[in-house]
Amino acid sequence: MTLAEPQLQSAYSHCLHIAQSHYENFPVASKLLNKQLRLPISAVYAFARSADDFADEGDLSQAQRLKRLNEYIVELDQIKKTLAQTPPVVLHPSNNPIFIALADTIYSYKIPIDLFYDLITAFKQDVTVQHYTDFNDILNYCQHSANPVGRILLYLNKSASAENLKDSDSICTGLQLINFYQDIAQDMDENNRLYIPLNELNTFSVSKDNIKNHLNNPHTQALYLAQIKRAQTIYQSGQALACRLSGRFGLEIKMIYAGGELMLNKLAKKSDSIYQRPRLTRLDKLKIVWRGIFACL
């Protein structure tokens, strides 16, 4: 691999600055992470954060958003081309430091580049899709939006076994569903976007306009609880992953899992106010730490 060391260091510093400038449920600057993982994770984060901003933030038109996301596909294509050479050569012609760092991360940790294409697919859906016909469509979205993140982290930790990848998908899909169900009002108000399947709205005699108008009645509550119960089943099916992973990375995953489980329980208890996002208290955060430390004892 060929790349001037100062250029690579500068690229990673740029990504780390992006990571440390944003608050997210993404373990970029966690003190639990091994120090050697912070730079590669920051490269992944900078890629995902900037692409997500193209999809959702600012006043860009739909065409402009898609154009910028397509430019990221071109960047990924170039990385794929250079890494396919024998021996692999990473002399990325882009002026974008995110992709200089990302190319190095993909090469160094042998991460399948298709995972990054999957993320772009999901961001494009954010631009063009406002509702989903059935739950399989939503699962497909999760397979592109959330699951690649968990898989990338496993590759970075050198623990991407078939069993771990499968359980990671369950946890990440569950976390994505949690995000959908805690932000129902915000998604509708800001983007006219709904992540509850239309066919299930019909089953429970609820319309999209009902959700848009924040109607809260026995029909919407029953619909909501059905979503939460299914999310709990999916999420809990991946629980074994947290106990198989060891060390600081394993503790990080245990705490992430405990946080998701706690949030699902909060969501299940607020069916009478489904448009209000639950908040984590200081006691809740202590519970997450406690459960993370003692989860598998």
pLDDT digits (tens, 9 = 90+) for 77-108: 999 988 887 666 655 556 899 999 999 999 99
Average pLDDT of span 224-239: 96
- Across 6-10, 230-234, 282-286, the highest mean pLDDT is recorded for 230-234
Confidence bin at 19 (pLDDT 50/70/90): confident
Q: What is the pLDDT of residues 192-211, one digit of tens each?
A: 999 999 999 999 999 999 99
Handedness of CA 246, 240, 294, 179 (dihedral sign): positive
**Alpha-carbon distance values, 224 to 4, 19, 60, 158, 274 (Å):** 53, 33, 32, 38, 7
pLDDT tens for 32-72 read 677 788 899 999 999 999 999 999 888 899 999 999 999 99
List of domains in the chain? 1-128 (1.10.600.10), 130-297 (1.10.600.10)
The pLDDT value given to residue 74? 95
For residues 126 and 55, the answer to whether their CB atoms sit within 8 Å is: yes
pLDDT-based confidence at 25, cuts 50/70/90? very low
Is 188 within 8 Å of 239 (Cβ atoms)? no
pLDDT tens-digit map of 258-279: 999 999 999 998 766 788 888 8
CB atoms within 10 A of CB 220: 23
Tokens coding 10 = 């500068």
| pLDDT at 100 (0 to 100) | 92
Q: How many CA atoms lie within 13 A of 226 on its CB side?
A: 13
Paired tokens of 197: 């399947």
Mind listing the pLDDT tens digit for each residue in 148-196? Answer: 999 999 999 999 999 999 999 999 999 999 999 999 999 999 999 999 9
Most confident of 18-22, 224-228, 270-274: 224-228
